[in-house]
């Protein structure tokens, strides 16, 4: 059986994550995201690949969402309410709580403010969320008789999970986005050591290895402090959930220590709402936050206030967290238009910005002007600072997870093609694991594990119960192996249960005659002195005993000798079919016609070489 991995989104790109995996007849959709940098038909995955008729209920066994970011959940209301999928949808409790906030915020920005076509409504979002079945960490869910799933902590953002899925003996893990290191408010990803046929991993930072976070934090704080100390305004475009909380904790603590009186603002009630959920879901945060929560809630920020739109043109310095991130639309882009022309101001971009967004344009160089979505241009005289606080794991984290899980195959998604290809080469060469980097619309097929239940014959069990130890010495230790099961043969007959038998039983089980393979060679040996035939056999026996270590017991008669299955008899034929190279006319040479079984292959050739030394 094969596992088929169809990539509908995030294939050789970052955006609209959507991977459909078929395991033993079960189709699972992992994530259902949208592309933040597209405003055409490429915004959503091409669901028609799954079903031309639109019958998704009979095509998809279930949908699993790993976290609340729009590039992982943004297309879900469209898929369920517009395309008509009514099957089970799974996500963690925090993701179920926070996804409606993110989806509604996005809908409001794109439709109410930018006037774009409404692809799903507020009612669609509510109806979609009613279909969701929440997951707990390490809770095994039996989706149907054959398919089971289990969620593991992924770090990254509040409620993010990796997903283990198993059908029969075949098993995979889909990571979604994850972080292998702890940050200020979330722990590192945790997963059991599992037997996997396939690992599907994100690869956002496929070639980046990050050092300590403390120099990056210091650099960010110094950049913001320098801006406000000089009378400027610092804009930090960020999504309401995730990096906003991380950076707020950092700035709030710094403001307290430095006794800075410059205001820090959140741009919308959404973030205030989000902080309320963070306070409620402390169990999903880092150990550091849990310990602090005993005395006070770390998300009760002393220096952070709600922002009023009238303050955009207010004089004086400030720090503003404005949604959404990447400067892709909404209030953050509106503030950017007003603040970018001033050289006193600062735009600090946390994490990755998808291609096509204004954030990506700013990170790609030092533009003096930027074209916005509606065709207007903005002069950029402010300072641009990229904040390296991405919640994604780096190249070392991806390698560490892959090494820990040791899957039979790995598929990389959610990354940029050149970096992904470099990581693929690294995984293949260092870990010797087949690695694939499919593009959108491509399918990767890998073999799946199938265990066969088999009975065992009495003879085989008896042989297994008798130890068959082999001892070997290395430079540091004695190595002992037990090869007692090496003689087992798996027999699978039509309409019968598989059976393991001893090799000596195979012919009987299959009702066939024994077929014995043996080797034969007419070996030339030199006669020393006046030895007769008996004396020659004696000489050869002594020679074999001295030089062949595995020749335990040698049996002699007047004209032949035997060791195990090896038999050698003096050959009186003028021409023998087993004789090669030396003529029988030589008076000092006699021939021993030998044959032995394949089981004693090494022994037989060892004896032949010993006798040839007599020439």
The pairing of beta strand 455-456 with beta strand 499-502:
parallel
The closest alpha carbon to 399, from 375, 425, 376, belongs to: 425
Tell me the C-alpha distance between 469 and 562, whole Å: 26
Distance spanning both ends of the chain, measured CA to CA:
58
Tell me the C-alpha distance between 289 and 242, whole Å: 14
Tell me the C-alpha distance between 44 and 65, whole Å: 15
The closest alpha carbon to 374, from 402, 333, 346, 407, belongs to: 333
Q: Which residue is listed with tokens 């097929």? A: 445
Contact call for residues 523 and 592 (beta carbons, < 8 A): yes
Report, as residue numbers or ranges, the catalytic residues. Answer: 202
Residue 522 DSSP SS3? strand
Exposed / middle / buried, residue 148 (Cβ in 10 Å: 0-12, 13-18, 19+): middle
Contact call for residues 76 and 63 (beta carbons, < 8 A): yes
The closest alpha carbon to 154, from 183, 119, 187, belongs to: 187
The closest alpha carbon to 163, from 21, 64, 94, belongs to: 64
Looking at the DSSP bridge assignments, the partners of residue 30 are 19, 64
Say how far residue 157 (Cα) sits from the centre of its chain.
19
Residue 332 DSSP SS3? helix
Q: What is the DSSP string of 187-217?
A: ----------SEEEEE-TTTT-----HHHHH
Q: In what order do the strands lie in the sheet with 383-387?
A: 304-306, 264-266, 318-322, 233-237, 346-350, 383-387
- 285: its two tokens: 């945060």
Tell me the C-alpha distance between 276 and 273, whole Å: 5
Q: Which residue is listed with tokens 């078929």? A: 22
Query: Is the C-alpha dihedral spanning 87, 90, 95, 97 positive or negative?
Result: positive
Q: What is the DSSP string of 387-443?
A: E---SS--HHHHHHHHHHH--S-EEEESS-HHHHHHHHHHHHHHH---EE-PPTT-E
Tell me the C-alpha distance between 224 and 233, whole Å: 9
Tell me the C-alpha distance between 154 and 135, whole Å: 14
Residues counted in the chain: 615
CA distances in angstroms from 256 to 249, 261, 303, 521, listed in the order given: 11, 9, 8, 93
Question: What are the residues whose beta carbons fall under 8 Å from the beta carbon of 385, sequence distance 6 or more?
Answer: 220, 223, 346, 347, 348, 349
Looking at the DSSP bridge assignments, the partners of residue 520 are 595
Phi-psi region of 496 (alpha: psi -120 to 50; beta: other; left: phi over 0): beta
Question: What are the residues whose beta carbons fall under 8 Å from the beta carbon of 599, sequence distance 6 or more?
Answer: 565
């Amino acid at each position: 059986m094969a596992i088929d991995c169809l990539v509908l989104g995030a294939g050789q790109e970052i955006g609209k994550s959507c991977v459909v995996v078929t395991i033993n007849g079960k189709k699972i959709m992992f994530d259902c995201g949208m592309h933040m940098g597209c405003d055409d038909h490429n915004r959503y995955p091409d669901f028609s690949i799954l079903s031309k008729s639109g019958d998704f209920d009979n095509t998809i066994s279930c949908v699993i969402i790993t976290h609340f970011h729009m590039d992982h959940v943004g297309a879900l209301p469209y898929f369920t309410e517009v395309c008509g999928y009514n099957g089970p949808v799974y996500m963690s409790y925090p993701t179920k709580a926070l996804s409606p906030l993110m989806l509604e915020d996005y809908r409001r920005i794109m439709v109410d403010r930018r006037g774009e076509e409404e692809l799903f409504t507020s009612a669609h979002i509510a109806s979609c969320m009613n279909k969701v079945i929440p997951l707990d960490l390490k809770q095994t869910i039996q989706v149907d008789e054959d398919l089971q799933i289990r969620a593991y902590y992924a770090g990254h953002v509040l409620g993010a999970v990796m997903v283990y899925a198993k059908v029969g003996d075949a098993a995979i893990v889909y990571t979604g986005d994850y972080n292998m290191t702890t940050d200020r408010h979330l722990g590192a990803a945790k997963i059991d050591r599992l037997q996997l046929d396939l690992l599907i991993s994100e690869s956002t930072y496929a070639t980046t290895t990050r050092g300590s976070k403390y120099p990056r934090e210091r650099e960010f704080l110094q950049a913001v402090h320098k801006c406000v100390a000089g009378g400027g305004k610092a804009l930090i475009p960020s999504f309401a959930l995730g990096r906003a909380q991380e950076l707020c904790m950092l700035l709030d603590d710094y403001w307290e220590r430095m006794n800075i009186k410059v205001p820090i603002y959140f741009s919308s009630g959404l973030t205030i709402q989000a902080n309320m959920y963070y306070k409620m879901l402390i169990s999903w945060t880092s150990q550091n936050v849990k310990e602090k929560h005993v005395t006070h809630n770390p998300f009760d920020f002393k220096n952070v206030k709600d922002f009023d739109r009238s303050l955009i043109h207010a004089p004086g310095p400030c720090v503003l967290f404005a949604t959404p991130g990447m400067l892709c639309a909404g209030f953050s882009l509106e503030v950017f238009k007003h603040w970018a022309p001033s050289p006193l101001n600062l735009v600090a971009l946390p994490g990755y910005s998808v291609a096509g967004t204004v954030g990506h344009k700013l990170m790609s160089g030092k533009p003096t002007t930027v074209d916005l979505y509606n065709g207007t241009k903005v002069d950029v005289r402010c300072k641009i600072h990229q904040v390296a606080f991405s919640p994604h794991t780096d190249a070392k984290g991806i390698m560490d997870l892959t090494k820990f899980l040791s899957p039979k195959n790995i598929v990389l998604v959610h990354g940029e093609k050149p970096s992904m290809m470099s990581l693929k080469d690294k995984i293949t060469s260092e870990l010797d694991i087949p690695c694939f980097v499919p593009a959108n619309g491509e399918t990767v097929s890998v073999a799946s594990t199938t265990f066969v239940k088999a009975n065992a014959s009495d003879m085989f069990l008896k042989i297994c119960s008798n130890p068959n130890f082999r001892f070997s010495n290395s430079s540091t230790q004695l190595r002992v192996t037990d090869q007692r099961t090496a003689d087992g043969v798996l027999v699978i007959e039509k309409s019968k249960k598989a059976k393991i038998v001893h090799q000596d039983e195979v012919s009987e089980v299959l009702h066939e005659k024994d077929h014995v393979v043996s080797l034969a060679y007419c070996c030339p040996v030199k006669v020393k002195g006046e030895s007769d035939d008996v004396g020659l056999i004696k000489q050869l026996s002594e020679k074999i005993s001295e030089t062949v270590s595995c020749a335990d017991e040698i049996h002699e008669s007047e004209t032949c000798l035997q060791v195990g299955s090896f038999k050698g008899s003096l050959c009186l034929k003028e021409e023998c079919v087993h004789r090669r190279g030396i003529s029988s006319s030589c008076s000092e040479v006699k021939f021993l016609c030998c044959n032995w079984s394949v089981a004693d292959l090494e022994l037989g050739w060892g004896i032949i070489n010993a006798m040839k030394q007599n020439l």
